A and B are shown apart, each in its own frame.
Chain A
């Protein structure tokens, strides 16, 4: 199998270019044995503002039930109740992963002066900026500009459009909407009819093959064609399955990213949220089992987050936009702990939780532990959260 060349690490600082020593070999993961520098991060962005309080639930706090008489989750249904906190019943496998010591929860993650606009808050999370600051590159994009200069496929995003978090100045982030289509387009040559417009069909076929780095992707998929672990039947699981194939097949991307929409539960929250969390649970557990079985779990770290949590007090059958919420870390040799205090429902800011852990402290820990990378190089100055890895 092809060995990639050494990566040269360069960094832009206020003073100009800073050359760091070569230390990383971008080997393909599957043959890399115990080399711990070959880590991969996977991000699952929950779009719409996931209701953290109904995901990781403070079942022992009577205020929770007082403020959420309609949508509160009954104590006896909570999964893995421990130390006053437990998972939504749809997240039964989160319980398993936690018990196996491979799932950490970071509580009350947010940032100062929270913005309750989906658009703006996502932008803040994606650029790792302060609430009042505007940045045009993604935090992962800046990281890759330094770390992955010579990589052909620095990151892979499975989504309908590019993600700001991956926006870089010099590295290539690949966005692929649907891997099944890539496969179909290749197989069916010119026969596939997608619309009534032959010109458009022609362009759409080209669109898939014109994605830069498609050669590397196809090669990785080819390498991994004999792996066929079972996955749950939903779109998110499908995306994770493709990521798994690419990781096993030796694509040298460090970052994988996807988003999952439908968390803006202003009404009918009980049903909607149940459905969403079940998809999340099933998809993640499929991926987790796959990684575990193939002994890749220690190298692959999955990060689940949302742009904000939701208002503590319910509003009708749903909840309004809020602030802080939990983040979930799976795999990557995490400590398997719950970090941070249980949500303080009595001390609120305009009805919303006050954040305890800055999301950038999690980013910092991820970069430091997984890539031995100094987060200050990309202007993340918040100290790393302790105890995660």
Chain B
């Protein structure tokens, strides 16, 4: 019999998952140490250049207006524009997923995606690919700068103005949508403001509408009288209001909680929210030192098991583990089905994470995907093909290749896979593994790799693998 003892995930693999999308960085973390790795990631220049499909499309207001006019001509023209936009939206999703998968700075992409989910805009509503790009660009530029600056950038983003209807917020017809979310979802959280604060914030936002690069105030529609927010009165524009919001007590804690949720805990412990909220406050909302300390310290003490894995991490981890050739459009499609539609969240609150990532149906589909990759299930392939018909995904071909470093015997193989995949094993699981790969398994046998893949398959379908 095999003597397998319960283990927890190897710490560098765990850190790689927590700070990225797969266990790809485990070796780098091991060599550099967690603190240096985080520092490297946060100091790197996370370059971004405009993809061709954005560059080729309309950018300034005139060009964008022309497309709209074209669409208004007939139903057919409107459908054509919609179809093109749908295609472009998948190109964009694929572009983001590719960055997450291929970047040398996965932590930066994970931070970017965090802020994208914090300052939600969706392609579905915005409908201008260039604005979506600018939204992402602003996040990529400011995600390690000052949080206050980032909030201002987001409020001035054309995409955000469109998504939360601020182009319709005019002095004679106030629309509170952006004002409300600025307080409720971007900075303070429910219960930390009054309805009057929202009204006055909305007044300060009136007249802020689309510009070529970013939002601009139009004099004709702005409100130039005095506003009162959080007890302060003045002829404020939105920058002044944001400055006041950042004087409020809960602002740093609100962000700290969301960061802890995205990276580490479905239910962050109160004392950690306190600790890192205070840290952000003490650093005057500078994000880099806040992230540096938070990531380093939490990775050092984490044993895993606190978070349901989001579909992106799940998918990229499996791709990395099995050296699958990525088809990013296909991945975008899978993620959409798994409830993580990139840059198309279901609503302004963004993906909630935790239990929301999992239902019976979603778990079944994760398992079907694993079976499909490893066994090539014909039924699943048919279903997939049918659902993929209208998307331009090219061909999808999986040839799983699992690399095992120490292939001496069954025990080493099982241990290595558990170390890489499972936050915590248990006797029941180990008993099954021992049956699956018996002690007298011959790693040199002709079909040994198939048998090892079956171990991977078992582990990847386990409840434990769905958790990081």
Contacts and interface: CB of A to CB of B under 8 A. Distances in A.
Contacts of B457: 162
Interface string B249-272: 000000000000000001100000
A162 B370 CA distance: 13
Interface stretch (B237-245, B315-323, B357-365): B357-365
A209 interface: yes
A122 B378 CA distance: 26
A117 B442 contact: yes
A132 B457 CA distance: 25
Given A119-B451, A134-B446, A202 B379 contact: no
B367 A210 contact: yes
B449 to A, nearest CB: 10
B26 interface: no
Contacts of B442: 117, 119-120
A160 B358 contact: no
A202 B358 contact: yes
A206 interface: yes
A170 interface: yes
Contact of A199 (B305, B367, B431, B445): B305
Nearest to A212: B364
Contact of A200 (B305, B431, B458): B305
Contact of B438 (A119, A169, A171, A209): A119
Interface stretch (B54-62, B203-211, B274-282, B459-467): B459-467
A212 B379 CA distance: 13
B440 A118 contact: yes
A200 B305 CA distance: 8
A266 B144 CA distance: 63
B378 A169 contact: yes
Contacts of A211: 364
B359 to A, nearest CB: 7
A210 B466 CA distance: 13
Contacts, number: 97
Contacts of A117: 438, 440-442
A107 interface: no
A170 B435 contact: no
Contacts of A198: 267
Interface in B416-444: 424, 426, 428, 431-432, 435-442
A195 B358 CA distance: 19
A254 to B, nearest CB: 17
A197 interface: yes
Nearest to A214: B360
Interface in A179-204: 195, 197-200, 202-204
A175 B273 CA distance: 42
A161 interface: yes
Nearest to B359: A206
Contacts of B385: none
A193 to B, nearest CB: 15
A172 B379 contact: yes
B313 to A, nearest CB: 14
A206 B358 contact: yes
- Main secondary structure, interface of A, reads loop
B308 interface: yes
B375 interface: yes
Nearest to B432: A160
B454 interface: yes
Interface residues of B, number: 48
B377 interface: yes
A164 B375 CA distance: 11
Given A119-B442, A200-B463, A261 B435 contact: yes
A210 B464 contact: no
A241 B358 CA distance: 32
A211 B368 CA distance: 10
Given A167-B375, A199-B266, A210-B363, A118 B438 contact: yes
A222 interface: no
B189 interface: no
Given A136-B450, A170-B378, A210-B363, A199 B467 contact: yes
A206 B445 contact: no
A317 B267 CA distance: 55
Contacts of A216: none
B440 A170 contact: no
Contacts of B432: 160-161
A161 B435 contact: yes
Contacts of B447: 123, 134, 136
A259 interface: yes
B440 A203 contact: no
A162 B458 contact: yes
Interface in B318-347: none
A207 interface: yes
A265 B159 CA distance: 70
B308 A203 contact: yes
Contacts of B1: 264
A312 B363 CA distance: 49
A118 B436 CA distance: 11
A47 interface: yes
Contacts of B361: 210
Nearest to A169: B378
A316 B308 CA distance: 51
A200 B467 contact: yes
B355 interface: yes
B307 interface: yes
Contacts of A207: 363, 462-463
B306 interface: yes
B358 A161 contact: no
Q: Which of B359, B363, B431, B446 has the most CB of A within 10 A?
A: B363
B334 to A, nearest CB: 17
Nearest to B433: A161
Contacts of A210: 360-361, 363-364, 367
A202 B426 CA distance: 16
Interface in A60-114: none
A203 B358 contact: yes
Contacts of B428: 160
B400 interface: no
B375 A206 contact: no
B145 interface: no
Contact of A134 (B431, B441, B445): B445
A50 B275 CA distance: 60
A170 B467 contact: no
A204 B308 CA distance: 12
B378 A204 contact: no
Nearest to B358: A206
A203 B463 contact: yes
Contacts of A200: 305, 424, 463-464, 467
29 contacts: A119-B441, A119-B442, A119-B451, A120-B441, A122-B438, A123-B447, A134-B450, A136-B447, A160-B428, A160-B432, A161-B458, A167-B375, A169-B377, A169-B378, A171-B379, A195-B426, A200-B463, A200-B464, A202-B358, A203-B308, A203-B363, A203-B463, A206-B363, A206-B463, A207-B363, A207-B463, A209-B360, A210-B367, A261-B435
Interface of A: 47, 117-120, 122-123, 134, 136, 160-162, 164, 167, 169-172, 195, 197-200, 202-204, 206-207, 209-212, 259, 261, 264
Given A117-B441, A134-B445, 4 more contacts: A117-B440, A122-B438, A171-B379, A203-B467
Interface of B: 1, 266-267, 305-308, 355, 358-361, 363-364, 367-368, 375-379, 410, 424, 426, 428, 431-432, 435-442, 445-447, 450-451, 454, 457-458, 462-464, 466-467
Of all A-B residue pairs in the complex, the 8 with the closest CB atoms, nearest first, are: A203-B463, A160-B432, A170-B378, A134-B447, A210-B363, A119-B438, A119-B441, A117-B440
